[in-house]
Amino acid sequence: MILETPAQRRALLDRSQTVAMVGASATHTRPSYFVFSYLRTRGKLNVAPINPAIAEIDGVRAYPTLAAYAAEQGPPDIVDVFRKPDDAPQVARDAIAAGAKAIWFQYGVINDEAIRLADAAGLDVVVDRCIKVESARFDGGLAMGGMNTGVLTARRRER
């Protein structure tokens, strides 16, 4: 099912424990590193990087494929996709084969074939959303407009 409402995405995050992040990067300036780091340190989700080019990120073992992850850890609750849209159909096939319950296509990762494949296989599907932003929003770290509610204030700082 394609999850279009905030309530549906929140329910997915609330019932999930594991995320396999396809395309996670150890390069600190890449969005996939920032999202991985945030979810690992601030979220309730157990996040594993999936990237054949690296051995680990910040001490967390990376897996070369979703199949390797699933063989050792079991099926992930969510496969988070940080890949080019053209790569998304194969990632969807791999997520289905790994027994994932959901697939989350990050901002800009929009591919109709991949969405259809995942939806037809019964996966929950999130498209063109950031799992970090949604997680922070639902946990009180962001307002619906995206502002960090923990920092925004009308009061002047004392000097």
Q: Is residue 153 part of a domain?
A: no
CATH of the domain at 85: 3.40.50.720
Q: Report in angstroms the alpha-carbon separations of 2 from 8, 59, 95.
A: 9, 34, 15
- The answer to whether position 144 is within a domain reads no
> b/e per residue, 25-41, with b = 16+ CB within 10 A?
bbeeeeebbebbbbbbe
Note whether residue 94 is domain-resident.
yes
Instruction: Give the domain extent around 81.
Output: 6-138
* Per-residue model confidence (pLDDT) at position 88: 97
pLDDT value for 130: 92
Domain count, the chain: 1
Identify the pLDDT of residue 147.
46
Whether residue 151 is contained in a domain is answered as: no
How many other CB atoms sit within 10 Å of the CB of residue 116? 14
114: in domain: yes
- Residue 65, in any domain of the structure: yes
Whether residue 62 lies inside any domain: the answer is yes
- Among candidates 91, 88, 125, 118, which has minimal Cα distance to 20? 91
Residue 147 within a domain: no
User: Which pLDDT tens digits describe the chain residue by residue (159 residues)?
Assistant: 999 999 999 999 999 999 999 999 999 899 999 999 988 887 688 999 999 999 999 999 999 999 999 999 999 999 999 999 999 999 999 999 999 999 999 999 999 999 999 999 999 999 999 999 898 888 765 544 444 444 444 444 454
